[in-house]
Structure 1
Amino acid sequence: MPPQIIGSLYFHYPHQGNKTKIYKVFNFITKKSFIANLIAAIIFVFVLALLFFFSLGFLTHHGETITVPDVRGKDLKEATAILKNKGFEVEVRDSIYIDSLKPLAVWEQTPERNDVVKVNRTIYLTINKVVAPTVAMPDLEGLTYRSAEMTLKSRRLRVGDTIYKPDFATNSVLKQMLEGKIVKPGTMIPEGSRITLVLSSGKGSIENPVPDLVGLTYVEARELLAARSLILGTVLVDETVFDTLNAFISKQTPTPKNGLGDLNLIRAGESIDIWLSAERGVKDSTDINQ
């Protein structure tokens, strides 16, 4: 056993046999007392705390504020450069599609323009999408103009041109068109598209002779009525008809002439009922509309 030495700490390595090699690691309480070391540690911690609290103002830029510039409508690259030159951080938070705004332009910013904030604050931007998302075209036919307008707005679509045609249902939608073509309900179209509405102007004020449809095919009669702003009313089909589109008009109401031989008159927007037959009907040879 190695001798005990008071006031010092030794390590004993038994693998060295009878010869013991001792290394001194440290002296426990030699020149300074334990209380003196404790007081020094407390003072050191106190000084560190003072330095930390006094540096908070510098680290957090306490009292340093700046006014947020307005970057709405500017390109994302330009907006980012402006904000960073002012000492702000920039982050794109969201995107939206506005057809009247150029792609990647800033739509909204938070904090808002002219807000006074601390320097190094992060400004969150909402930008305009590059490609417009698509939505399903709603069915507007038969709706009033007001209802059609509200329906389009709910789908992020807009009312474009309005065209009026004579029809008995005043101010109701007769057709919905996009870029000059009829667009069917359910068709996927870009958000922000302007939809042309063909609206009913009600019945016309001028009376014109009733056209003679007898002998025409169903398709020909429909085209003639559309050209004269008249409506195809009830269609009654004979049991012999297998192809409606190529069937012939055998009878109509009102007729071109009344029982006295005078011309019957009709206004734009009014309707004519027809009967379809497999055989071509015979026209009145005295009718002026032939």
Structure 2
Amino acid sequence: MFDFITKRSFGINLLAVIAMFFALALLFFSLLGVITKHGQQLTVPDVRGKNVKEAISLLENAGFEADVRDSIYIDSIPPLAVYAQTPDKGAQVKVGRTIYLTVNKTVAPMVKMPDLEGLTFRSAEMMLKSLRLNVGDTIYKPDFATNTVLQQLFGGKKIKPGTLVAEGSNITLILSSGTGSVENPVPNFVGLTYAEAREMLSASNLNPGTVIIDPNVTDTANAYIIKQVPARKNEIGDFNMVRAGESVDFWLSANKPVTDSTATQPAKQE
């Protein structure tokens, strides 16, 4: 059967093999454009914001493959909506190219609330963003440390570090605006309960300073202020002045002091 090959000289067979090799190479390179779809390019459509099923169907009908590569939670777009795509819309790519999609989660993951108090606003904002939390309202309150976080609130209430909150939640920050420039007379807190004094401090944009509690006190909120620093008046009877954001120190006792409206300090306890 193979006599026609074996009876031919080696040189002729070698030439035949070389000719066949070049013929196959020519055929391969001529078909390479068809195999690789060379020159066949399509424009990637914009599927962001669309439901993932609709986006995949649209891409496949346009001649692409689609694959969900990642997921994220964004509260401003519907669940299972496409948040991002790669390659981006308008890109010119080959037919059959895989378009990778990032899809919005249906349920927000929970993260631990960080401790922001004492941080600058910029640092607090960066920390919230790293946890995919948002800065909600910013409320300024007079205090010494300008533009630092005094309190963190969620849903109008103070939230403790470590509390689980949903990604995308808005965190309200109470920030320091620095001390005020206008001086006002120090309020008289002597004779008030500590709870009443705290309310007056808040109304005067002042802060509680050091609180010294008598050993006989069992209920701090209802204990009485028997001394304050700075006092209402100084030694010569003039009013002491204080600026918004400054603090007042208190001494607390279980017994209500006997006060004299003309005195600069409360009467001593017997």
Same fold (TM over 0.5): yes
**Aligned ranges for residues 5-84 of structure 1 at < 5 Å?**
33=1, 35=3, 61-84=37-60
The DSSP-based 3-state class of the residue aligned with 1:171 is coil
CA shift digits 1:141-172 (9 cap, x unpaired): 12121221222222222222211111122221
- Alignment check: 8 A CA contact 1:105 1:128 kept: yes
Alpha-carbon separation, structure 2, partners of 1:272 and 1:57: 83
Equivalent residue letter for 2:217: V
Q: For the structure 1 residues 151 and 60, does the alpha-carbon distance in structure 2 shift closer, same or farther, using more than 3 Å as the test?
A: closer
The DSSP-based 3-state class of the residue aligned with 1:151 is helix
Alpha-carbon separation, structure 2, partners of 1:55 and 1:146: 60
Equivalent residue letter for 1:242: T
Equivalent residue for 2:141? Answer: 165
Equivalent residue letter for 1:265: M
Structure 1 position 245 matched with structure 2 position 245: no
Structure 1 position 259 matched with structure 2 position 228: no
Equivalent residue letter for 1:239: P
Equivalent residue for 1:181? Answer: 157
Structure 1 segments, 4+ long, off by >6 Å, are: none
Equivalent residue for 2:198? Answer: 222
Gaps of 5+ in 1: 1-32, 39-45
The correspondence for 1:195, drawn from 171, 190, 206, is 171
How far 1:229 moved relative to its partner?
Answer: 1.0
TM-score by length of 2: 0.80
Alpha-carbon separation, structure 2, partners of 1:152 and 1:173: 13
How far 1:61 moved relative to its partner?
Answer: 3.9
- Alignment check: 8 A CA contact 1:214 1:282 kept: no
How far 1:34 moved relative to its partner?
Answer: 6.3
Equivalent residue for 1:17? Answer: none
Alpha-carbon separation, structure 1, partners of 2:145 and 2:260: 32
Alpha-carbon separation, structure 2, partners of 1:120 and 1:167: 62
- Alignment check: 8 A CA contact 1:212 1:283 kept: no
Equivalent residue letter for 2:213: V
Equivalent residue letter for 1:255: A
Bigger Rg, structure 1 or 2: 1
How far 1:180 moved relative to its partner?
Answer: 2.1
- Alignment check: 8 A CA contact 1:173 1:200 kept: yes
**Aligned ranges for residues 117-196 of structure 1 at < 5 Å?**
117-196=93-172
The DSSP-based 3-state class of the residue aligned with 1:169 is coil
Equivalent residue letter for 2:231: T
**Aligned ranges for residues 82-121 of structure 1 at < 5 Å?**
82-121=58-97
The DSSP-based 3-state class of the residue aligned with 1:219 is helix
TM-score by length of 1: 0.75
Q: For the structure 1 residues 205 and 64, does the alpha-carbon distance in structure 2 shift closer, same or farther, using more than 3 Å as the test?
A: closer
CA shift digits 1:86-140 (9 cap, x unpaired): 1222221211122333322222222333333332232221111122212111111
Q: For the structure 1 residues 59 and 164, does the alpha-carbon distance in structure 2 shift closer, same or farther, using more than 3 Å as the test?
A: same
- How many residue pairs get matched? 251
Equivalent residue letter for 2:88: E
Most deviating of 227-236 and 198-207: 198-207
Tell me how large the CA RMSD over aligned residues is: 3.0
Most deviating of 70-79 and 160-169: 70-79
Alpha-carbon separation, structure 1, partners of 2:127 and 2:31: 59
Alpha-carbon separation, structure 1, partners of 2:199 and 2:251: 16
State the identity as a percent.
63
Alpha-carbon separation, structure 2, partners of 1:117 and 1:231: 63
Alpha-carbon separation, structure 1, partners of 2:233 and 2:53: 74
Gaps of 5+ in 2: 7-19, 264-270
